[in-house]
């Protein structure tokens, strides 16, 4: 059964931290009029048959004949309701937010991932020109709201490509998001991914170095003690060679000062907190607590990542630290393509308030 091979491929990619983090990304398989697509809340690395939702492709095609509200929240609620109605009888799980896009792509298998190396290009100032030069048969799409708008944009772009070149792209690169690869065999999907990674690797001028470094234990303890006053969970702490570079001063911190992709917003926050320490005699704990409270009053939320100048990176939870480490990796890779390009404020606000991403955050995985 091809679903079994899709599960094997999902495990292959899902257990490779260079391709996905925290079970992110999604996969699908088409059999006749049925789409098997990853459900929200399941990790690619451990997913089983129950982690895929069976969808009626004919009903999904019918979504394109409908009109939806212009308001973002209202539109996405309407589309979600219709998407849930496209499930085959007996299905109860919620399909991935990108299920509609999976249904659009005319390939038996579709694998959508967020490799840090690829996002070093898609989240860079020269992303579009680099992708169009390196992968001329692929499709590049600029910053687009995920969900229905993304699927609609891909639908139009594919129709235009088919009319112009008589071909349907197998690879779609999305600015500040990731990459979709489609093929009629998983071997072909793997070949395409290996080609993408190999081509990009040849143009990388510097790779991230996450060699751990010794921290100032006394100061770290003071910061943790202060954070315990406002946070009862686990505080993860790390210092490595890349973190040391970004913690030098505010200018050095800029390349990681905002969000690259929706996953970064969901798991490590839309904006890390930078805490400047004026001198060696400064009360580090008090400085962090004061900056934390100012962040809350300014943004109406609490930071998940706190970067303390010349000390360490503090994270509210291990997952947040993993995603921030990925942020740093993306930033380093982007140096080879003109430097970092963050999501704009309007897109960040959309992701922060989007019901789908709040749902993802609540269950811990897409």
Structural Rg of the chain based on CA atoms? 21
Please list the ranges in the chain whose pLDDT falls under 50: 364-366
Please state the φ and ψ torsions of residue 17, each to the nearest 5 degrees. -65, -15
Q: What is the pLDDT of residue 358?
A: 52
List pLDDT tens digits, range 178-213. 999 999 999 999 999 999 999 999 999 999 999 999
Instruction: Order across the sheet with 235-238: list the strands.
Output: 235-238, 312-316, 305-308, 273-275
Domains 2-201 and 217-363 share a fold: yes
Q: What is the pLDDT of residue 355?
A: 54
| Nearest one of 63, 64, 40, 43 to 53, comparing CA atoms | 40
113 alpha carbon, distance to own chain's centre: 8
Q: What is the pLDDT of residue 63?
A: 96
Q: What is the pLDDT of residue 22?
A: 79
Model-level pTM?
Answer: 0.93
List pLDDT tens digits, range 268-300. 999 999 999 988 888 999 999 999 999 999 999
What class does CATH assign to 217-363? alpha beta
CATH architecture of the domain with range 2-201: 3-Layer(aba) Sandwich (3.40)
CA 223 – CA 238 distance, rounded (Å): 13
CA 331 – CA 349 distance, rounded (Å): 21
For the chain, the domains span 2-201, 217-363
Q: What is the pLDDT of residue 67?
A: 93
- List 112's β-bridge partners, or say none: 26, 180
């Amino acid at each position: 059964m091809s679903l079994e091979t899709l599960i094997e491929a999902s495990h292959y990619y899902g257990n490779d931290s260079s391709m996905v983090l925290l079970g992110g990304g999604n996969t699908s398989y088409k059999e006749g009029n049925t789409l098997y697509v990853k459900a929200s809340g399941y990790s690619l690395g451990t997913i089983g048959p129950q982690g895929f939702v069976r969808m009626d492709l004919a009903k999904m095609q019918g979504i394109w004949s409908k009109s939806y509200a212009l308001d973002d929240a209202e539109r996405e609620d309407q589309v979600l309701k219709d998407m849930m109605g496209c499930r085959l009888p007996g299905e109860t799980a919620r399909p991935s937010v990108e299920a509609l896009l999976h249904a659009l792509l005319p390939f038996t298998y579709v694998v959508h991932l967020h490799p840090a190396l690829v996002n070093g290009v898609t989240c860079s100032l020269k992303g579009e020109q680099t992708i169009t030069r390196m992968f001329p048969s692929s499709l590049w799409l600029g910053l687009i709201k995920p969900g229905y708008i993304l699927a609609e944009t891909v639908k139009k772009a594919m129709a235009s490509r088919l009319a112009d070149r008589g071909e349907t792209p197998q690879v779609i690169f999305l600015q500040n998001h990731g990459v979709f690869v489609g093929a009629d065999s998983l071997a072909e999907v793997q070949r395409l991914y290996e080609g993408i990674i190999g081509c990009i690797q040849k143009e990388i001028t510097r790779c991230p170095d996450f060699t751990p470094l010794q921290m100032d234990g006394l100061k770290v303890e003071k910061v943790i003690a202060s954070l315990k006053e406002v946070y009862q969970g686990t505080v993860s702490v790390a210092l490595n060679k890349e973190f040391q570079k970004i913690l030098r001063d505010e200018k050095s911190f800029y390349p990681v000062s905002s969000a690259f992709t929706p996953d970064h917003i969901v798991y490590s926050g839309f904006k890390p907190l930078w805490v400047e320490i004026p001198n060696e005699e400064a009360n580090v704990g008090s400085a962090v607590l004061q900056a934390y409270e100012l962040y809350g009053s300014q943004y109406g939320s609490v930071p998940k990542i706190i970067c303390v100048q010349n000390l360490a990176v503090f994270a509210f939870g291990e997952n947040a630290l993993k995603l921030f480490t990925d942020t740093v990796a993306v930033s380093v890779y982007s140096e080879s393509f003109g430097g970092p390009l963050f999501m704009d404020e309007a897109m960040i606000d959309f992701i922060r308030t989007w019901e789908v991403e709040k749902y993802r955050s609540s269950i811990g995985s897409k």
